[in-house]
Structure 1
């Protein structure tokens, strides 16, 4: 279907919905690199006006990728819940925006009726404050060994990466993070190598720390899903199964996965029954531009491809979904402004689709961004109700070589917005003497038994 209009005597025409959505996207480097972006701000504004008039029903009639060619498209259409869709079925994209901003309905009730393309479309005609206001209303709670996503709570992933996977260095970073109240979302290591024996060692290190100190959290080594499956067969203590995912079948193939493989991995992890308050054990990471990197975007803009990845995540009821927003680099999100916008879009789209969204608020050193930009996005996402952020020593990942958020950043956000850790983890922090019962660090936390115990772990010299 062609979308056309004439404004001040000038004709604008967009050949199909896929092109219309790409032209309506806020400016970003990925779409310019792919040759999909609007050629001017005028064309972008016209595309947004036309997109606002598109019926939500039309997204069911004009798939961006034919379902016979793409298993993600098939999944989206097969899982669409017409009953949940009914309250908004008669609306256009623009009317849906107005409804989201003015209606006080429970947004979780429509999540199963929303296609990712609908959510991506409405985000394209929303201001940053609109994205924040709507996302704030979407509470998505998930559980494994603690409860994440409750109102008034902010969790952190403690990310103790090390360039050589040295257990002593990793343990030191874990201790550092715990001493600042980080780690309730997950203690998660990106391994320097995906070697089975190496990952097995790291899993046992994390399991030993959590069990020895009875920490109400979960561990994860962010290896490929096939590595996790092999290690589960070996009897390794796998809490969360991790995988990077994307919004097209071809992009997921470039990661070496498909939906059937993810289903098999989830079934294996469920059979271990390692959770205590719940059994949501999948952890997914995404990022705008991943499909373009694999030349598997099918001419779809980066933000819409990202939203389609959330359909994959939603299929597996994950504990955590993390958009690693500025990690790929300035070729995809050029500067701080684009990173901030993308982070707010991703959080909004994921939450509206019913996902427990977190964000790695980050940038690479060759991007036109700095830590002040990350402070801005950090604060905005805190206001928007983001489920979790990263906690990295000094905000500088020495293994992956990018800049993110620190343990201190999480303390800042919790204090200025009155947010607290996951309830089970907060109780542990108070019991161990790190927090004082008022969401603040205690004066005597350096006397906690954690210090003496960690000094023995791996013969650390602390």
Structure 2
């Protein structure tokens, strides 16, 4: 079904909903690379005007990818709460935007609608919203999750400690992790990207993190961000898997390029849950998955089906929520300037991803990052970090000195996270905050630098294995 709109006497026609959604998107270098972007600002404006008048039911009834050829499309339809959606079926995208922005549409209302909103609906409304709108609506929503601690409550700002090492030296990794703990970071997860995706490496890293968590008593989770099959093989060797990681995307073909399927994700989750039941750990919940996404991933795998990268990112969140994750992370600037060219595009994408994930019921974090060949710098990261804190982001990354020496990209540091918490009056996860106070790392809810050495006592054996 074609759509059309006229701007100052120039008529623009969009061949179908997929074309309309793509043309209505903000400028993204990835969409330009894929050949789906608007060719002018007039065409973009025309697409947004036309999209604003599309009923939500029309979007649900016309999947951008055929469900018979794509299991993500089938998942979206099979998991859709049609009863909760019924009152919104005739509402247009523009009207839905106004509904979201109403003061009376609070977090409790939006939480009840999470399964009524499909990813394509979330993507459509995001395209009509300004950055301030994305922050305002996302800030209403709290998606709380539990594993060894509790993340996502209002006033909580979590941090993943990410001390990656170029040679996977476990001692080097643990020293970096201790540094993060001393800044009050690590409540989201102590998560390591391994340089080598081998079972031996992954098992050694997981065992090292677990030694540190056990020795310090820190109520947090460990994770090694290898391929899911490698982690499960390490689990078979009795490596302690707190959170099972995998990168996911918004099409079946893109997920296949990652070597993953919906069935494998579900199987992995069940295996980790079974292992948790056998471990003597004070779990506070049973959410055990950590998933990462990022705009442009399907295009980079040549698996985008002509769909714009924002809409595909929203579809990745359908995959994520199917396995009830503890953490979801949009690695927004990591994929490079071919997909998000500069500061403006990275900031916009970060706010879009956070908004859509929260709207769809996910515990969203964002890796506020950029590669060294992008038109961005640390001021760019600061800007997005502050906007996400205002938007109620569940967690961000804590990388030593903001510079990941293994992945070779720039992110946010332990210092950045501490500053944001102080600036916005935010705290770590409640269990973690109590531990910080008991250890003297925090005093009256804030960092107490003079007491830091107390944590270091007796850690020599832990750090060296």
TM interval, shorter chain, is over 0.9
In structure 1, distance between residues paired with 2:333 and 2:139? 22
- Residues 221, 243 of structure 2: 8 Å contact kept: yes
Q: Which SS does the other structure have where 2:48 is aligned?
A: helix
Match of 2:76 in 1: 76
In structure 1, distance between residues paired with 2:8 and 2:144? 49
**Larger mean Cα displacement after TM superposition, 74-83 or 85-94:** 85-94
Match of 1:18 in 2: 18
Match of 2:216 in 1: 213
In structure 1, distance between residues paired with 2:68 and 2:399? 43
In structure 2, distance between residues paired with 1:280 and 1:377? 28
**Larger mean Cα displacement after TM superposition, 225-234 or 95-104:** 225-234
In structure 2, distance between residues paired with 1:55 and 1:216? 46
User: CA distance change for structure 1 residues 244 and 406 in 2, over 3 Å: closer, same or farther?
Assistant: same
Residue 127 (structure 2) pairs with residue 124 (structure 1): yes
Displaced runs of 4+ in structure 1, greater than 3 A?
none
Q: Which SS does the other structure have where 2:246 is aligned?
A: strand
Q: Which SS does the other structure have where 1:67 is aligned?
A: coil
Match of 1:371 in 2: 378
In structure 1, distance between residues paired with 2:327 and 2:175? 25
Match of 2:411 in 1: 404
Match of 1:293 in 2: 300
Match of 1:320 in 2: 327
**Larger mean Cα displacement after TM superposition, 405-414 or 81-90:** 81-90
The structure 1 residue matched to 2:438, chosen from 431, 438, 450, is: 431
The structure 1 residue matched to 2:362, chosen from 337, 355, 362, is: 355
Match of 1:176 in 2: 179
Match of 1:242 in 2: 245
Match of 1:282 in 2: 289
Q: Which SS does the other structure have where 2:443 is aligned?
A: coil
- Residues 7, 42 of structure 2: 8 Å contact kept: no
- Residues 186, 218 of structure 1: 8 Å contact kept: yes
In structure 1, distance between residues paired with 2:7 and 2:382? 40
Q: After the TM superposition, which residues 223-238 of structure 1 pair with which residues of structure 2 at under 5 Å, given as runs?
A: 223-238=226-241
The structure 2 residue matched to 1:269, chosen from 250, 254, 272, is: 272
Q: Calculate the TM-score normalised by the size of structure 2.
A: 0.97
Match of 1:65 in 2: 65
- Residues 179, 445 of structure 1: 8 Å contact kept: no
- Residues 20, 51 of structure 1: 8 Å contact kept: yes
Gaps of 5+ in 2: none
- Residues 307, 346 of structure 1: 8 Å contact kept: yes
Q: Deviations over 1:289-347 (max 9, x none)?
A: 00000000000001110000000001011000000000011111000010000000000
The structure 2 residue matched to 1:445, chosen from 422, 440, 451, is: 451
In structure 2, distance between residues paired with 1:422 and 1:59? 38
Q: Which SS does the other structure have where 1:152 is aligned?
A: coil
In structure 2, distance between residues paired with 1:61 and 1:443? 57
Q: Deviations over 1:121-157 (max 9, x none)?
A: 0000100000000000110000001000000010000
- Residues 20, 47 of structure 1: 8 Å contact kept: yes
Residue 97 (structure 2) pairs with residue 97 (structure 1): yes
In structure 2, distance between residues paired with 1:93 and 1:364? 34
The structure 2 residue matched to 1:302, chosen from 288, 298, 309, is: 309
How many Å apart are 1:60 and its aligned residue?
Answer: 2.0
Q: After the TM superposition, which residues 191-206 of structure 1 pair with which residues of structure 2 at under 5 Å, given as runs?
A: 191-206=194-209
What is the total number of aligned residue pairs between the two structures? 458
Q: Which SS does the other structure have where 2:304 is aligned?
A: coil
Q: Which SS does the other structure have where 2:195 is aligned?
A: coil
Gaps of 5+ in 1: none
Q: Which SS does the other structure have where 1:68 is aligned?
A: coil
How many Å apart are 1:459 and its aligned residue?
Answer: 4.0
